[in-house]
Amino acid sequence: MRTLINIVLVCVSSNFSSVFAKDIDTTKVPIQDVYRLTSQERTKELRKMKDIPLKPLWDLTGHLDTPYAIALFAGRGEKEAQLISYYSEYPDEFKEFSATGQFITHNFKWRKLIYTKLHTLHGGKHKAVNKRRNAIRNAIKESLNNPNEIWKTGILIHALGDSYAHTKGKYNSPDERAFNKYTGHGIESIFLTDPDEIFKKENEEKYIAFITDLFNLLKTKNKDQAGFNSFVNDFRSANCNSNECILNKTTLNFVHGKALNSQKTLNATLTPLTKAQVVEALNMIKD
Ligand SMILES: [Zn+2]
């Protein structure tokens, strides 16, 4: 089973092997310290980190790297942040749970659940978009009451991220509505505007709303509010037209290397989630 899953994983993320082939040393600067540096100091540190690939897997940024960084800012421990990040990315790593993996299938009931709940492609208008975001927030709060089921939190965070990434129209305006799989926008949402494009200017407000939402849901008494604000400001002031530019102007390099390493380790040690477990998490979204 593990071998099969590893094969699927390699197929889904073809860049994995080339990234892992390099010896990524992310231990030089602890991630939380990086955010406390001034921007000049950070640039200096970034230049020292030559062994981290400058062009990592951007498709992992929204669901893997971001939840990891935000969980740390929120005051969660390193291990908890790793698990949240791992399970948030999880649906995109396995065919039975990914939107692209279920695009062609005979199991329409399963596809409907995966599309409308897990990847938030429900096709609703502004009111429905807000209602769903609220329902997912409530589900995440409930899941956080049980630290032994952190995988539920991660799966629900995937759905929360998609509730921002999978809409068209201006954020929180009457024009904002969710994509669905039956229209051209559905295709667009899966292949073109997924969270890997989160840093396009037109998606900036949605991305910042997502991380603010996530920070508020995950925050503890140990939260680093100043670090989080600085992270948000980096994005606002970057004024970029490409992901590469964002990468050079923010500290996402550090986040990516660490999150990717922990994903690799957890993938080799954790028992894969069953379909029933994923359904259990999705059933917590009540709208
Ligand atoms: Zn998704």
| Span 10-29, pLDDT tens digits | 333 322 222 222 333 334 44
Give 77-131 as a DSSP string: -HHHHHHHHHHHHGGGTSTTTSTTTTSS-S-HHHHHHIIIIIS--B---HHHHHH
Mean pLDDT over each residue of the chain, to the nearest integer: 76
pLDDT in tens, 207-234: 899 999 999 999 999 999 998 998 898 8
d(CA 105, CA 177): 26
The residue ranges of every structural domain in the chain are 57-282
Span from the CA of 185 to the centroid of ligand 1 (angstroms): 14
Whether residue 197 has pLDDT greater than 50? yes
Span from the CA of 66 to the centroid of ligand 1 (angstroms): 14
In the chain, % of residues over pLDDT 70 = 66
Tokens 């009457």 correspond to 174
Phi then psi for 42, rounded to 5 degrees?
-65, -45
Span from the CA of 192 to the centroid of ligand 1 (angstroms): 12
- Give the residue among 163, 182, 28, 150 at the shortest CA–CA distance from 85: 150
Tokens standing for residue 179: 């994509």
d(CA 128, CA 44): 46
**Residue 188: its pLDDT value, please?**
46
* Contacts of 226 by beta carbon, 8 Å cutoff, 6+ apart: none
Higher local confidence (pLDDT), 116 or 192: 116
* Contacts of 191 by beta carbon, 8 Å cutoff, 6+ apart: 100
In the chain, % of residues over pLDDT 90 = 40
d(CA 276, CA 186): 26
Span from the CA of 102 to the centroid of ligand 1 (angstroms): 12
Span from the CA of 121 to the centroid of ligand 1 (angstroms): 9
Span from the CA of 72 to the centroid of ligand 1 (angstroms): 22
User: What pTM value is reported for the model?
Assistant: 0.78
Span from the CA of 177 to the centroid of ligand 1 (angstroms): 16
Span from the CA of 120 to the centroid of ligand 1 (angstroms): 7
Span from the CA of 279 to the centroid of ligand 1 (angstroms): 15
d(CA 116, CA 129): 12
Tokens standing for residue 129: 């978009």
